[in-house]
Structure 1
Amino acid sequence: MNAFMEHFHPILETCEDFESVEAARREWLDLNILVSRHYRHLDSQVLWQRLIQGAIGRDGQFQHMQVIAEISLVLPMSSSCCERGFSSMKRIKSDWRSCLSNEMLNSLLQISVHGPPAEHYDSVKAVTKWWSNGSRARRPQYKD
């Protein structure tokens, strides 16, 4: 808990409900005792949810712990989303496509990571648009 509060100290200082780190440490000790005596049977997710809702302890007793619980619940538990992004970039920016601009690389990464699956892609619209647009008309019967 000490490392957590030191790391997020700049954020905690800006919160209205957070008075001091020392008060948060005292609340942490009180919360540990209360949970070990009365709430040991609860799943951790239910416990944090009840803490945030104010259903554990007296009214306003764990205001610092509520702020810390809210911060900790929005932290990602793994870096898998970052790893997927790097894998997508490695797949897109190969030796053959090493001269992509940042804008094009970003667009392709967005499509790769957040876009629809390839099975749902309809290429007819894209080919039709490519075929009809351009600096000159495309002539399939004419050999350049």
Structure 2
Amino acid sequence: MLSSIVTFVGSSSKRANLLKEIQEAEIAESSADGNLETGKVLNQIRSLKRAGMTRWGSHFASVNNLVHMFKEVSQLLQNMMIDKELAGSIRGDAKGFLKSLKAFDFVFCLLLTNKIMGITDLLSQALQRQSQDIVNAMNLVSSTKTLLQELREHGWINFFQSVQQFGDDQGLDMPNMDAPYSMGTGRENFYPEEFDTSEVRALKLQLEHYKCQVVSDKDFQELSSLAQVCRRLVETGLEKKFPLVDMLIRLVLTLPVSTTTTERAFSAMKIIKTRLRNKMEDEFLSGCMMLHIEKEYVDDIDSEAVIDHFESTGDHRAQFR
């Protein structure tokens, strides 16, 4: 998606000039407000860069530039989306790219890629030199591995906070990760509102006893899954002793089942509603998705019967036979 956005924005000199004008206006406004540090080599006008096929450093430059120009690129796509002088297909592409650009998953992957590539950039540059300093290269390998391990083990919270801050600065809709998760399974719905304060306190107490009694119980040793734990609770009769813990485990086990339909729907949407089909109406999209998701039922539909029914509804400009 990043490559497509860069290609779309940079496909004409007019768009490149418009992007430059937006950057200049942004720099002038920030400087007038006193929110921008000024000085030599500061506040340079950037341009989006396409990643080369053989130069790893060009990928980092492409990602890094989009991070720094995120607001300006968003503004350009917004302007193109409402520009009546542009062809409808171009406005539609601009709308689709803007939607993708502001999506949380895109922003998250963009910043994570930028973070990782920033850590590995020095090593990448060193390995591309014709004259290799083996000692320096090995030291860079060691320091790069250390920094990546630190990011993995201790840097996740700070990184995610930076993602949230970036989203707030750009005015994006960021998900609230502290919000309780709700789900439905069959006829039963499990929401936080259905558990009163006393049940929450009782659950905490049961978990404390569960930790002391069950974890050290020999009957629960060498169990490798929650399903086995749930089954063993029933076999030993402990599900009656810890009913809320048992319910909690069952909720976790049913979560994948309850989200399967939703995940299939989103997967189908990504396949059906591509960038070239982003103007598809909701009713038509819903029908296409239903046919894609429920393939096992669609196989039993007689196409000839559908055609006969369609032709019987009235005259049409196109004949099917």
> Which TM bucket (shorter chain)?
0.5 to 0.7
- CA 131–40 in structure 1, closer or farther in 2 if over 3 Å, else same: same
Contact 1:24 1:64 (8 Å CA) reproduced: yes
CA RMSD of aligned residues (A): 3.9
The 1:16–1:111 alpha-carbon spacing in structure 2 relative to 1, beyond 3 Å, is: farther
User: Partner residue of 1:27?
Assistant: 209
2:221 is matched with which residue: 33, 40, 45?
A: 40
Distance 1:91 1:117, change over 3 A: farther
Residue 138 of structure 1 and its aligned partner are, at CA, apart by: 6.8
The aligned runs of 1:1-144 (5 Å cut-off) are 10=192, 13-14=195-196, 19-29=201-211, 30-34=213-217, 37-40=218-221, 44=225, 45-51=227-233, 53=234, 55-57=236-238, 60-76=240-256, 84-94=264-274, 97-116=277-296, 120-134=300-314, 136=315
Change over 3 Å in CA distance of 1:99–1:19 after alignment to 2: same
Q: Structure 2: which 5+ runs fail to align?
A: 1-178, 182-190
- Paired letter, 2:279: C
Q: Kindly indicate whether the alpha-carbon contact (under 8 Å) linking 1:31 and 1:62 is maintained by their aligned counterparts in 2.
A: no
Deviation of residue 21 (structure 1)?
4.2
Identity %: 19
Matched AA of 2:303:
S
Runs of at least 5 residues in structure 1 that lack an aligned partner in the other structure: 1-5
Deviation by residue 1:67-99 (Cα, 9 ceiling, x = unmatched): 21121111118x776554334223322455443
Q: Find the aligned partners of 1:103 and 1:139 in 2 and give their Cα distance.
A: 22
Change (3 A) 1:46 1:90: closer
Task: Kindly indicate whether structure 1 or structure 2 has the higher relative contact order, using CA contacts under 8 Å at least 6 residues apart.
Answer: 1
Amino acid of the structure 2 residue aligned with 1:99: K
| Contact 2:203 2:245 survives alignment (8 Å) | no
Distance 2:318 2:293 in 1: 36
Partners of 2:292 and 2:252 in 1: CA distance: 29
Aligned-pair CA distance for 1:112? 0.9
Q: Distance in 2 between matches of 1:105 and 1:137?
A: 22
Deviates more, 1:111-120 or 1:98-107: 111-120
- Provide TM-score, normalisation by structure 1: 0.61
TM-score, length-scaled by structure 2: 0.32
C-alpha separation between the residues in 2 aligned to 1:70 and 1:89? Answer: 30
Distance in 2 separating the partners of 1:23 and 1:129: 63
The structure with the largest helix share of the pair is: 2
Q: What is the rounded CA distance, in whole Å, between the counterparts of 1:69 and 1:16 in structure 2?
A: 19
Q: Between Structure 1 and Structure 2, how many residues are aligned?
A: 129
